[in-house]
Amino acid sequence: MVIYGVALLSLCYLCGVVLGDLLGRLIGVNANVGGVGIAMLLLLVISNTTSIKLNLNASTTTGITFWSAMYIPIVIAMAAKQNVFAAMSSGWMAIIAGVAAVVASFALIPLLSKLGQDEVS
């Protein structure tokens, strides 16, 4: 059922926020550091583990899969919006660093896809 997906999503989000706050305190920053990313990783790990180990029925697995698939694009869109606003207000160095990271990521796609094909063969 979809409600189990929502429950799992909210549990992962709460754990991510707590862990992000703890991580921020450990490094001396008064902010949540990576809490949403931690929540996303927890959701991915738990949703993939539950379908294999717990032998859930089809509707429960579908609900968990639906919400895990919806969460990732939403988080990426929110993070991208925040990063663009922060870069625009921080000056040219932040914008250049962001563009360089995107260009480097695009340049690595052919290498990673070639490595992925070698493992499959």
Is residue 29 domain-shared with residue 63, that is, in the same domain? yes
| pLDDT digits 0-9 by tens, 40-92 | 888 878 777 755 666 667 777 777 777 777 777 776 666 666 666 666 676 77
Alpha helices, DSSP H, located in 54-90? 58-90
4 exposure class (CB count in 10 Å sphere: 0-12, 13-18, 19+) = middle
Examine the pLDDT at 25 and tell me if it is beyond 80: yes
Question: Which domain, by its residues, includes 12?
Answer: 2-89
Residues 11 and 54 in one domain: yes
Vertex 110: Cα angle to 72 and 34 (nearest 5):
30
Indicate the number of domains in the chain.
2
The rounded distance, in Å, linking the Cα atoms of 71 and 39 is 10
